[in-house]
Amino acid sequence: MRPQGGGALAPLADPIEIPGEDALGEGLGGESSGAALGEDPWQGLTDVTPGANPPPRRKAPEVLERRSRPSFADLLSRAPPRRVLRPAELPGRGALEREAPSGYQPMPAAEQMCRRQLAKLGVRFVDVSSIGTGQNCGIDHPVKITEIASGIAMRPAATLNCAAALRVAEWMRDEVKPAARWKLLKRPTAVINASSYRCSRIAGSRSISEHASGNALDVAGFGFADGSVVAVEKKGFFDFREKAFQGAVRKSACEYFGTVLGPGYNRAHADHLHLDAKQRRRTVCK
């Protein structure tokens, strides 16, 4: 490129002489390059057939022995031999019952089935010890009822035999609750218990009462969700709703119990409904 301003180019330097191949070979060891190139680079090597000598196999890493857990079959094989009893050594019928603690009574199938029915109806109860206070008084398998239906308390708790408790629970579910809803427009929350189990005679008689076997319940009234209580008693002329409710539950009770006695029968039953589950040829409903 011509420099600006139109000046002349600078003169070139003198050429440099490059030595030839002979001089270059002497500089590498005093011999010519032709002699160095004439040597066989493969001299001294032996012929090798590819694949004739495979590479040495790698040694597998040492694996530590793991102790496995014994199987169930191994444990059985290590167990001591089981002794087989001979027929003469087997316990006879009733031997286990004789070894049971004193006072233990196996619960019959009917009692177990009754308790399952109570649970289905929402009854809350506990099994209590058998009661035997006299020759004609007692309950073999009593239950203590704290709730006669779901959300309906027994106040106070009632001790009955299971069959009687089941009758009361069915009556509450099928009759008392609907009657309270339609006659009083209220929801029952409690049954007022005047008497359940007690060892006594029928009033004015020498006969043993059904209370003595836990087969009867005296109902003094009903409690409701609004806090009100309807007592079982003779109603006044203007107690239309309460009179209708009491009449409905009393009449329906005659379909569930063998004996129903209430206000108007005698002075002893003027303030409660006596309900007993004894089977009779004809229902006593007074």
57 lies in a domain? no
Q: pLDDT of 233-269, one tens digit each?
A: 998 888 999 999 999 999 999 999 999 999 988 898 9
151 lies in a domain? yes
- Collapsing DSSP to helix, strand or coil, 180 comes out as helix
179 lies in a domain? yes
Q: What is the Cα–Cα distance from 202 to 269, expressed in whole angstroms?
A: 12
Q: pLDDT of 33-66, one tens digit each?
A: 444 455 666 666 666 666 556 666 776 666 555 5
12 lies in a domain? no
Q: Which residue in 207, 206, 195, 197 sits closest to 269, CA to CA?
A: 195
Q: What is the Cα–Cα distance from 106 to 275, expressed in whole angstroms?
A: 29
Query: What percent of the chain shows pLDDT beyond 90?
Result: 50
* Average pLDDT value for the chain: 80
84 lies in a domain? no
220 lies in a domain? yes
DSSP 218: E
**285 beta partners:** 260
Q: What is the Cα–Cα distance from 25 to 23, expressed in whole angstroms?
A: 5
Mean pLDDT of 155-183: 97
Which domain range does residue 196 map to?
Answer: 109-285
Are 89 and 140 within 8 A, CB to CB? no
What is the number of domains present in the chain?
1
104 lies in a domain? no
Mean pLDDT of 213-236: 95
pTM value is 0.63
96 lies in a domain? no
